[in-house]
Structures are given as structure tokens and as C-alpha cells.
Structure 1
């Protein structure tokens, strides 16, 4: 029996879009679908015909799918074009496009001063990433000479030809046009001799533009290179040179030098004495306002001569300097009338007994660990009328001598007593600093900043009583920093008022 729906039409058109719509055909023999019986021959003919009709329907559907896929591809392509249009035009709305060139240059200049590593502007062998953002940014940064004024951290390896190294440095110098230069030159042990020669030749070709320079001169540089010309713009010079160097061969004229930092290489022998007059007198010491000396083993008379030559210095710093005072008559006192700041770090302080500093305001003395020497006490006492800041590090005890010294400093506003953890701060020392009307004269009446470090062998109540007395209307204390151990646990978390910065930390100040 042949079903009545044989040869049914499987396709129709969508009345809205015209695309092909299909319906599932009906089986010509549904009663045989779920059995193992074979339909009669006429039915088999009808089944074969319906299969052909269904296969044709699949072909029609595939054609429609292809057509729809083409439409989807076209729509996706159109979507990407619209998205690209939006992105390109949104960039036009960016505030960065409205930044004036002057402001953009100022931003790049700030980056050049703070960047490090891959973002450093100081290494000529590294192109800063900001130069590769866009053509306009690159044009602005290349037209800002001050961005390229500092050269240091030259990083190359032995595979870099000397000509390439020199080219990299010269390119940086060309970008800086005629602005004053800041140069940090240290001997690179991994460079071969040819590379060092090319680097030094490139840097030393612009001495007329040097303004702030740090040089580490070895025997190699002293043997191969001379600067027999004026350095007219050099204001700051940090120099490491062998103690037997003839520095006049390098610097013939330094008309505007203001700051000099000088010391020999660290490898100088323990018995070597640096002949200070023969070296430092090559420099215009009288015009300096800042002098820093370090790693020098000197004769007392030589050092006094140098300090007296730097009569206009406002700041003097001495670090790791060793004093050699031969037996003989006492040296006369030297007057430094303009000295405001004196910092002596791990150096002998005996020379203080030969100095007078009527304008001194800031004094810093650091180790080696010792007690207050008579020379130090005498020096501070002479400067009491002008001294406003005092830092003593590694004084071995807070004792009667220190308290007596502090009572002679009525104008002191900042006191820093920083010591090792073995130094004990007794209750008597803390109690002596309490401001009470019964104690006259008042100890340190103008003290506004106080830093103490050591082992506090006093109760938290005594410590807080002293601090609160100095934060009261009768006192001027506004900054307190305490460094110690577990004995300060009770002081942590307490307050001295909203107007006082109160910090309590475990460990040391460093």
C-alpha cells in the first residue's frame, strides 16, 4: 500500500526574507521503521524516491548556508571596519593629543631624571622605549636636548666594536645639542683597551659643556689622556684619582667650580698619606661653597691648610679620613667664617680643636664608637650660639658629659642621637630632658625634632612624660622618632597629639 503523502513537497519560501524553509518529510512506511520486517516492493520504490527528495533538500539547505555564511562574513567585515573607525576617531578625543609640546617635553624630561633599568635615558647603548611609541612623540623627545644631557651606565660587551661604542655616545651628545652635560664615568673592567679609549675620547671631546661630572680616573686614564683646556661650565666635580696624580694636567681652568668631592681609590695602601696641598691646591678652593673629602690619610697640618684655603665653603663633609698628627707644637686655630654645615663620618675629630666656625648651624658626627672627646665638647661649646641641628652617631653612652653638653645649646631645634643597640638610655637621661618650671635653665627649650636610638632602660611612663612635657605649650616638639627593642612596646600605639609626628620602630634607624 502506498501512503497518501508520497512525493510531498519539502520546501517553501519565507514570506519575509525569501530564504528556503524546510519541513521534515513523512515516512512512506512508518510501521516498518522500528521492526525487522521488509516492506513490499512498491513501498521500497517509494522509500528510495523519498530518500532522493531528502538528499535534494540537504543540497538546497547547504546552498542556503553558503549564502548565509557569505552574508555573515560580510557583516563581520563591516563590523571590523566600524570598530576600526571608532578606535581611530576615539584617539582623536584623547587628552594626550591636546597636550602642548612644551608640556610633553617637560614630562619626558622628568622621565629622564627618574627612569632606571630598561627605562633609563642615561645609557647611550639603550634606546628608551618612549621613543618608539609614535612618530610625534619621538619627534618631541628628540627635539628636547635636556633629556639627553646625562650620560652614565654605559653597558656594552666585548663583542661591541670600539667604533660602535663611540658612535652610540656621540649620537647621545648630538641629541643634547649645546646644553650643559652631566657625566658619570667609571672604569669598565669588562671593556678592552680599545673600547675604553673610544669611550673616553667621545666623552672628553665635550669638556666645554661639562657641568656636573663624576670621574673615576685610573692609572690608565692618567697615562693616556690629558685635558689641557678650560672647563668653563663645570660647577660640580666628584673625582676619584690616585694620590700621586697631577690633576693640573687634567683641569687647567675651572672658573665656576662650586662643589668638589675628592678621594683616592679605595685600594690605596694603609700607610699612604695623601699629599693634600699638592693635589687639592690645583683646584680653586677659595671659590668653593661645598667640599667633600673621603678615604684620605692626611697630615693634620695639610688638612688645616686645605680647610683654611676653602674659606668660603658653606658645607664641608669628611668621610673615612685618617688623621696623622706628628709630635710637635700645637697648631694655630683656623677660622672658617662661612661654614654652615659640617659632617664628619668615621673620621678623626681631633682637628676640631683647631677650628673656629662662628656661623655653624648643622653638625653631624658619626663613629667610630667612642665617648665624647674633650676636643669635640670644646668645639660644640664654641658653636653653641649658632648651632640649630646636632647629630651624634655611635657615642658610647648617654651620660653626664652629654647632658652637660646639651644644656649649653639653647638654640638647638633638631637633635639626633643614633647609636648601636648596645648603647643604654638610662632613666636619668630621660628625666633630665623633662621640661619643668622647677628646672632652670630649661634644657633644649626650642627642640622641635628628636630622634633617639638605643636600649631604653626606662619605663614607658617616664619616656611619655618627657615627650608630653615637650609637646605641651611650653615646648616646641613636633617630630619624635624612637628606635629600640621590645622595651618600647608600651610606647607603640600611643599618641602625642594630632600636631606631632610620633614614630616608634624596632631595630635601628638605618
Structure 2
């Protein structure tokens, strides 16, 4: 049997001392599958291959390593070109031409519905989302400009909705939740504050901690909804005379228990024209009734109708007044003339 070993040229230009043919490979397979011993010619070939192959294999390995390195460089260069191309397209994107004011409005419109008001169906996950303003954090991760707009626009951080009764249903520590609330207040700067705040029913310490964060911003209060124990209104006493922007106030009682007389809080609010009282037990809070233009009184007990009628006598001419007793069966609307 004649040897078919030949010289082969590697891609790098080096020369391999042999190249195994299909015939040689088939012959070797037959020998290994049988008890036939190699011939003298076979033995010579196998010994020469065994002796010379390591050098050839080393050459192949070196060439493969060189090609892999070249491939890595090509892939890196391609990635750089692809990224640069995408950035060029981004630089020409129409959205980059939008005014900052318009983008701010778009970001505001994209707020989830749970960030607009408290609902009975709200969950702890929804509370965490609106407290952290997750939609703004997502916008801020898009690009540098969006980050600057999302983080640096006080208007976007000046609508605060939180129901602290849900905080105990989360795995996050209370101090971290308070910090999220504090961040929103800080980022809102001096922008008018729209706030819907559900204070905890049976956690006086948490209620006090929340009020300590929000009351220093009293000068920003514009449209405020407080779900609060009437007896806790005294915690707001230091804000009296410090509500220059307050235009709309909603007070919803978290309990129907009678409460002792407390200090006035909202009677010195020069811009207050809209008031809603929900479930407020018996005694009315001190309010500048004579300047109100739109008043709603909603209670569940028929005995509160006297209190509701007392309000009517306090309003100025032309004020619109809605009294809803039992919230379902009776709804009376008055226009004081």
C-alpha cells in the first residue's frame, strides 16, 4: 500500500508535512475494527504521522488563535460602527426636537392611574409604584436629556398620592418609604402641591412622621385631600396662617368617633374656595365659610343633616352647595342666592 501523505499549506502560509486522505482514514478504521495487524507500509505511515503531527497541530492552533483574535477585532469594530450608526440616527430623531415643556407634559400624562387618586382596590404594589414614581425613574433611564427632565422638573414631583394604610403590607422598611415621600417633596421644590394623603388609622407614630414631612411644605399646598382622624387635625395647628396657595381642600374622616374641640387650622386660607367634607362627625372644622364657592358635605348618618344645613347658612350668595346624607338615598343640591 502506497502512502498518500502529502504536504498541505496552512492559511497562515506555513506548510503541513502531511494531509490524511479519505483512503488512509478508511484503511486505519478497518485495522482498528479488526484483528488485522498493520503492514510494514502502514506502520511506517502511522509512525511518521505520530511523529510529525504535533508540530502541524501546533501550527493549526496558532492559526486558529490568530483568526479568533482577528474575528474578535472585527466583531468589536462592527459593534462600534453599529452603535455609532444608531446614535447618529438618534441625533436626528424627531423626538429630540420636542420642547422640554412638551416632554414634561408627556411624562406627566404617562403617570399610572393609581398615581392620580386613592381607590379601595389599591394594592401594596400599586402603593410602592406611586410612592417611588416608578414611571419617572423609567423615563430617567432612557438618556441624559430625559434624566435631566424627569429628575429636574418640579411639576412632575408635585402630585403626591399615598395611602399609608398599605405600608404594612409591603416588605420595605417604614423609614425607606418615608424617604421616598421625602424625595418627592424635595424634588417638587416650590411647585404648587397637589396631594392626596391617606393617613394610617391605628399607627399614631407613623401618622406623626408623615405629617412632619408634609407640613413644612404648607406654603405649597394647593389642592389637598386628607383622609385623617378628626382629632389629629390638631397636629396641623402650626400651619395656620401659612396656607397662601390653598384653593381646594377635602377632609375625609377615618373615624366617626366624637372628638374634643381643637385649634383652628384652615380658617386663614385666603384662596380657599372649594371644600369637601366626608364622614365628618357632628362638629364642623373652622373654615372661612364666607369665601367658599363650591362645598360638598357627605355623611352616612341621617342625624348629620342638621350639621349639613348649618353649613348652608354660612355660605355666601352664589355658592354651590351639595349635601349628601346616607350617600345613596338622599342627595340635595343648593345654590345659595
Structure-1 separation of matches of 2:310 and 2:167: 44
Closer, same or farther: CA 35–188 of 1 in aligned 2, 3 Å:
closer
Give the superposition deviation at 1:147. Answer: 0.5
The alpha-carbon deviation at position 109 of structure 1 amounts to 2.3
Are 1:294 and 2:298 matched, yes or no?
Answer: yes
1:398-443 Cα distance to aligned partner (Å, 9 max, x none): xxxxxxxxxxxxxxxxxxxxxxxxxxxxxxxxxxxxxxxxxxxxxx
* 1:208 equivalenced with 2:219 (yes/no): yes
> Structure 2 CA distance, aligned partners of 1:176 and 1:165?
17
Superposition map of 1:164-175 within 5 A: 167-175=179-187
Aligned residues: 307
Deviation at 1:49, TM superposition (A): 1.6
Equivalent position of 1:198 in the other structure: 209
CA 25–210 in structure 1, closer or farther in 2 if over 3 Å, else same: closer
Could you tell me which of 289, 312, 332 is aligned with 1:285?
Answer: 289
1:446-457 to 2 correspondences below 5 Å: none
Counterparts of residues 1-400 of structure 1 (less than 5 Å): 5=2, 9-13=5-9, 18=13, 20=15, 22-24=19-21, 43-44=39-40, 46-56=41-51, 58-59=53-54, 60-61=56-57, 63-94=59-90, 95=93, 96-112=95-111, 114=113, 116=115, 122-123=130-131, 128-153=137-162, 154=164, 156-157=167-168, 160=173, 167-189=179-201, 192-218=203-229, 221-222=232-233, 224-226=235-237, 227-241=239-253, 244=259, 246=261, 249-264=264-279, 274-275=282-283, 279=284, 282-295=286-299, 297-298=302-303, 303-312=308-317, 315-321=320-326, 345-347=328-330
Query: Is the contact between residue 235 and residue 257 of structure 1 (CA under 8 Å) also seen in structure 2?
Result: yes
TM-score by length of 1: 0.50
Following superposition, the deviation at residue 144 of structure 1 comes to: 0.4
Write out aligned runs for 1:431-510 (5 A). Answer: none
The SS at the match of 1:206 is helix
Greater CA drift, 222-231 or 180-189? 222-231
Q: Which secondary structure state, in structure 2, belongs to the residue aligned with residue 215 of structure 1?
A: strand
Q: TM-score, normalization: structure 2? A: 0.72
* 1:51 Cα deviation after fit: 0.5
Superposed displacement of residue 156, structure 1: 4.3
Q: CA deviation at 1:194?
A: 3.0
**Alignment check: 8 A CA contact 2:157 2:185 kept:** yes
Which blocks of at least 5 consecutive residues in structure 1 are unaligned? 269-273, 322-343, 359-510
> Residue 121 of structure 1 contacts residue 148 of structure 1 at CA under 8 Å; is this kept in 2?
no
Q: Hey, what's the Cα distance between the residues in 2 that align with 1:149 and 1:356?
A: 33
RMSD (Å), alpha carbons: 3.9
Shift of 1:13: 3.0
1:47 counterpart SS class: helix
The alpha-carbon distance between structure 1 residues 13 and 124, as it changes in their structure 2 partners (threshold 3 A), is closer
Deviation at 1:67, TM superposition (A): 0.9
SS in 1 for 2:275: strand
Alignment correspondent of 1:416: none
| Structure showing the higher helix proportion among its residues | 2
Aligned partners of 1:181 and 1:211 also within 8 Å: yes
Rounded Cα–Cα distance in structure 1 between residues aligned with 2:143 and 2:197: 32
Q: 1:113 to 1:49 in 2, by over 3 A?
A: closer
The structure whose Rg is larger is 1
Q: Equivalent residue of 2:89, what SS?
A: coil
Q: Could you say which structure has the greater relative contact order, defined with CA pairs below 8 angstroms and 6 or more residues apart? A: 2
Partner SS, residue 152 of structure 1: strand
Counterpart contact for 2:290–2:316, Cα < 8 Å: yes
Counterpart residue number, 2:122: none
- Distance in 2 of aligned mates of 1:210 and 1:54: 90
